[in-house]
Structure 1
Amino acid sequence: MSHDVVTMGRISVDIYPNEIGMGLEDVTSFGKYLGGSPANVAVAAARHGESAALISRTGEDPFGTYLHRELVRYGVDDTFVTPVPGLQTPATFCAIMPPEDFPLYFYGRFPTAPDLQIRPEEIDTATVRDARILWSTVTGLCQEPSRSAQLAAHTARPREQLRPDQHTVLDLDYRPMFWASEEEAREQVHELLRHVSIAIGNDKECAVAVGEGTPDEQADRLLEAGVRIAVVKLGPEGVMAKTREERVVSAPVPVETVNGLGAGDSFGGAFCHGLNQGWPLEQVLDYANAAGAIVASRISCSDAMPTPDEVFQLLRERGRAVPEGATR
């Protein structure tokens, strides 16, 4: 069975406070959710009607059981999520202090985590080769054997052999606590950029990948590295995408921010959906922007991923165009 979207990498249990506007030391109750960026992107893609699968690993414990159950509940194929005996499923805590302060605290990821124990020989090459979109993140490059496993997945589908409807995406998701230095991260990103067709990141993430500069300079360097689409998130100014033929900018979709942590993953799943629908790049960005805004207006991440109808409604409310012929 081929999939529309296959994501690879981090999965964890998100422990989010039910009380907003206070530090974790003062919070008294929490909610539990599926988390981890690639897992969230798979959930978001499934919510938009895509056939999605995740390649990852968990601990052999009750939290691992919970994550499998949640993946299935959200419609994500968990066949390639396997247990690692002796390691615990990670948990991630956050404080929710809108509009801009959402500190994350990672537990069970040091010195390693189960999802960093994905091994090259465990990669189902037919699954990654045949998927319409393969999505991975820079975090998965921070340790072996995950680093080699990601490279094996990407080399199983050479960029020059991709069908017109296929894409290989690298989320430049750089988190400094997982790396010895930016230089180490940049070296690994450079290696993987030779294999991907799309790169997505904000200013800081693009700086780690290709150096400081304006968004256009960073996008141009990503294009020079061989990607077909460079997506640079512009913060309050929206998001820009650049190819060798066009440059488009999508303005932000204003909402009242409750928790900004899941917006990027929601953007990613919606971006995959728009690509697979064959929409013009500007409309893909508008749709993804609106999907990200919806999650930013909610507390949770995976549980908050919107449906196409919700995204279309927000686009119409904000006077944005809905892609022509869109049915879901």
Structure 2
Amino acid sequence: MTHDVLTIGRISVDVYPNDIGVPLGEVNSFGKYLGGSPTNVAVAAARHGRRTAVITRIGDDEFGSYLERELDKFNVDRRHVSRVPGLQTPVTFCAIMPPEDFPLYFYGRFPTAPDWKIATEELDVDAIRSTRIFWSTVTGLSQEPSASAHIAAHEIRSRDTLRPDQFTVLDLDYRPMFWESEEAARLQVAKILPHVTVAIGNDKECAVAVGEGTPDEQADRLLAAGVEIAVVKLGAEGVMAKTRTERVVSAPVPVQTVNGLGAGDSFGGAFCHGLLSGWPLEQVLDYANASGAIVASRLACSDDMPTPSEVNALLAERGRTVPGPATIEVSP
């Protein structure tokens, strides 16, 4: 089976407090959810009707079993998910301090974690080559053997052999606690950019990838590296996408923020759906922005990814263009 969206990399159990606005040490109860950025993107795209799968590894434990059940619940194909004996499934705690403070605490990731044990020889070459969108993150480059596997996957998926309806996306997701230095991350990113058709990141993430500068300068450097669509998130000013012939800015969709952590992953899944639907770039950005805003207004990430009807309702409410049913391509 050919996937619409195949992601690779981080997976975890996310533990979020039910008590909002208090430090983590004062929280009395928690809820647990499937997490990990590329895994959340697969969930988000599945909510939009896409056939999705994730390449990752989990611990041989009960939390690993929980994540398998969650992937099944969200209709994310887990044929590329395997267990690593002797390692525990990571758990990520978060404090919820809206509107802007959502610190993460990673447990079971150091010195290593199962999803950093993805190995080149275990990659499904046919699945990587045939999927319509292949999505990876910079975090997957931060430790071996995962880094080599990510690079090999991108080399398998040569840009010269892609069909017009295929895309290779690099989420510039940079987390400093996983790296020795920004320079080390930049060197790894440079190995993958020549194989990428779409790069997505905020100002800091773009700076790590291609250096400091204005959003336009950063986008131009990504395009110069071979990327066809450079997406630079502008914070309160929305998001910009730039190609060699087009520059589009989508204004933010204001909501009352509850938990901003899943917004980027929701944006990513919706962005994939828009690309595969063949929408104009501005419409793709508006749809992805609205999808991210919905998750930011909710507590969870994976469990709260929106459906197309929810995204379209928010777009209509805010006076934005709503994709018509005839323009939305739904996978058979």
For Structure 1 versus Structure 2, the TM-score category normalised by the shorter chain is over 0.9
What's the CA shift string for 1:6-61, capped at 9, x where partnerless?
00000000000001000010000000000000000000000000000000000000
Residue 51 of structure 2 is aligned to residue 54 of structure 1: no
Q: Secondary structure at the match of 2:20?
A: coil
CA distance in 1 between counterparts of 2:327 and 2:62 reads 40
Name the amino acid aligned to 2:131: A
- In the TM superposition, residue 160 of structure 1 has moved relative to its aligned partner by 1.5
Name the amino acid aligned to 1:183: E
Q: 2:201 corresponds to which residue?
A: 201
Residue 83 of structure 2 is aligned to residue 111 of structure 1: no
Q: What is the root-mean-square deviation in Å for CA atoms of aligned residues?
A: 0.7
Q: 1:41 corresponds to which residue?
A: 41
Residue 76 of structure 2 is aligned to residue 71 of structure 1: no
CA distance in 2 between counterparts of 1:210 and 1:221 reads 6
Q: 1:242 corresponds to which residue?
A: 242
Q: 1:272 corresponds to which residue?
A: 272
- In the TM superposition, residue 326 of structure 1 has moved relative to its aligned partner by 4.2
CA distance in 1 between counterparts of 2:305 and 2:321 reads 21
Name the amino acid aligned to 2:58: T
Residue 227 of structure 2 is aligned to residue 227 of structure 1: yes
Q: 2:91 corresponds to which residue?
A: 91
Name the amino acid aligned to 2:295: V
CA distance in 2 between counterparts of 1:16 and 1:271 reads 26
- In the TM superposition, residue 269 of structure 1 has moved relative to its aligned partner by 0.2
Query: Kindly, what percent of the aligned residue pairs are identical?
Result: 75
Q: 1:285 corresponds to which residue?
A: 285
CA distance in 2 between counterparts of 1:72 and 1:323 reads 29
- In the TM superposition, residue 98 of structure 1 has moved relative to its aligned partner by 0.3
Q: TM-score, normalised by structure 2?
A: 0.98
Residue 183 of structure 2 is aligned to residue 183 of structure 1: yes
Q: 1:301 corresponds to which residue?
A: 301
What's the CA shift string for 1:73-111, capped at 9, x where partnerless?
000000101000000000000000100000000000001
Name the amino acid aligned to 2:144: E
Structure 1: which 5+ residue stretches go unaligned?
none
CA distance in 1 between counterparts of 2:303 and 2:327 reads 24
Q: Secondary structure at the match of 2:195?
A: coil
- In the TM superposition, residue 151 of structure 1 has moved relative to its aligned partner by 1.0
- In the TM superposition, residue 194 of structure 1 has moved relative to its aligned partner by 1.2
CA distance in 1 between counterparts of 2:152 and 2:207 reads 25
Alignment of 1:128-139 (within 5 A): 128-139=128-139
Residue 38 of structure 2 is aligned to residue 18 of structure 1: no
What's the CA shift string for 1:112-171, capped at 9, x where partnerless?
100000000000000010000000000000011000111111111101211100000000
CA distance in 1 between counterparts of 2:315 and 2:249 reads 16
Residue 214 of structure 2 is aligned to residue 214 of structure 1: yes
Q: Secondary structure at the match of 2:219?
A: helix
Q: 1:255 corresponds to which residue?
A: 255
CA distance in 2 between counterparts of 1:105 and 1:157 reads 34
Paired residues in the alignment total 328
Q: 2:158 corresponds to which residue?
A: 158
Q: Secondary structure at the match of 2:199?
A: strand
CA distance in 1 between counterparts of 2:17 and 2:301 reads 12
CA distance in 1 between counterparts of 2:327 and 2:116 reads 38
Structure 2: which 5+ residue stretches go unaligned?
none
CA distance in 1 between counterparts of 2:236 and 2:128 reads 35
Alignment of 1:164-179 (within 5 A): 164-179=164-179
